[in-house]
Structure 1
């Protein structure tokens, strides 16, 4: 538009200059000729000269103006062609809201193609179309807001379609004013953003779907950047690790991994950033300090064929691993039980014969008595091992009775006290009084306490100390054996109770296994805590009273 105004001014200036130059030339030339021939005072000649000048100038001006108007018409034609070719709604209105110009898109949009729209308001055009009537009336009301605001406004307008769909337009309305502030007209331009809005809606829905899946997932989920730093995490991950997300986001994932598993985690992370999906098991450190065993799957985050990060999906398998360990031990017990059932009786029969003949030879011979004693002792040891095997075979027919646990422990301590005295070991007791009775098989529970106390005596050095305590914990009784012996390495504690596993030079590994089995059959539990060079604590919990499924 500015270019057109500048062009019009240039043409006008050219016309004025040409007019001045031609006028001056005509005056000087004609006046000079008339003066030379003495015709200067002839009235009719002067009248003819002036008339000819007017006609010539009129013709020249006509040609110049015609050429200028043709240029303007060409420019307007180009402008109309451009506007009609635009994929946007374009409409020019006068100060009263009457349509002046509109492109094909606008006419087709409101189904008023072929309608004489010039000079008509939106409300008048609404009479030409039933379907778009409300839309046109709304446009007129919307125009009023522009004049009230007295400035350009931008808004989204929804135009319903005959097929039931809707078209959404990003509409700009620009008011035009004369130099004195009076209204001049209104320019309305609207771009169809229906497809863009649909895409934005789908993106928003996908974002909500992803967020819902992420936040409400039963598994712990977090995202890492390519350097292994936590970018986000869901509530399940917060519960799993014990930390709030604000305490974790921005920190390295490796900071929460157990040291022994760190190399494995780093190796898997390197593979994951090569766009490989991997699954592994690792242990993390809970906020409260204990370890949590996880099954972890690393999933690459790929956006536009570019790796942007890693999804870490984790599930707590701590209890599962414990159950697997219980099953593994139970399987071993089952194997040992089958072995015991198959060979125990076969071993005992020849042992009885051997022991009988040895005793007969011992009675008849006064020589080599020491050898006889050693052989009889070893036969008794074999017999003892077979007896422990028998406990692991088929369930024994036992009679559960209510017993005072303090009395059972005192019997065991009295039995083993002489062994402790030999090593100058002090056995102290701390029993709560008035404890409820436990329902148990007396000899089996005594066997458990003998095994545990005997282990403590063997582990404690000369002059050591053993504390035996009994106290009530709600509906259970806790018996603890605490010694200041050499302790047990942590990596070995989990193996205790397995068949034939022992830390003693002459042990069989059956005593503790039998103890585990007996306590389990009494619906109790044995827990061992130990620290090297400081000592060991063994806790036995047994239910008060109760019924047993025998």
Structure 2
């Protein structure tokens, strides 16, 4: 396109040079020729006619080129107006990363009004502004990533503002290549998602406040019951209707219940750093099973342990026992007489060891599974609903996970994954 423009620019010059040469040269040739006057007159007329035709052709080409150029300029102006009207950041760079065009939104964003940016790289543009220096230098790296990817790339970019705030952009970078694979140009389109980010932040804050409200309601509910019991006994003691000393065990139990709720809440709200050391998982599971073996036998329930190998993990033995005790206790409460709880320790993969607790008890609804781990959510009549919340937090601190599957009247499976110790 540029070569064609250059060619048409030199046509008038060629015409001015070649025209006189044509006229003088042909007149000279006719003067030294031996043509008869009639033939000389005919050739002279043909020469003039040919010159007129050539002139007409050149004028036609020039006029057509001017008309096409005008149409191109008009289309270019329309496109520029359209791009400037866009509420997004739009810029064009050539294959060398030099700026060719930027829309009004982008120029105002980077404070480029009145600055001749065309033909300059991001590094050169960064010299014009201290405030946006780092942002422009950062663009060099993301542009290069788009070139290397060889396809449309997407990233999120943050542009600081002078008032201390920032704008967030969902940036699309479109690399354009020549037929030989060389770089031709880069189109950058940045959609302003600042409002969306603010809405997401407000939504998260709203969810946190909602969760805090539910948590507060749960705390009030769980603590109010034992407080009501204590208050009732104290009032009856004041009325001399009971001897308070005969009911101290009830009062101690209710106080212990409040203390248990407070302790578990503290573990959730302010989890302490857990010291991890290398421990044998099989040994920890065996000790927990031993704690419940007498209780299970008395209730005609069976605990079956299958060790498919000896496994070590970096863990806190006390915390891990707390999780196993909680899960095993839930399993025993879910099964009836002659029920079974099967405990299996096996290698999940090369990185994780699995401890699975399976019972053939009452099971749970699908809807209840989604709330496992939520504070104060319990299916037990007198349950606090913090045991599984604490268990999830402990296993997460061990870099592990808990997966629960259940089916009503079939049973429940709780699989705990813990990372294996590395030599």
Q: Does TM, scored on the shorter chain, surpass 0.5? A: no
Q: Under TM normalisation by the shorter chain, which class is it?
A: 0.3 to 0.5
TM-score by length of 2: 0.44
Q: TM-score, normalised by structure 1?
A: 0.35
Higher relative contact order (Cα pairs below 8 Å, separated by 6+ residues): 2
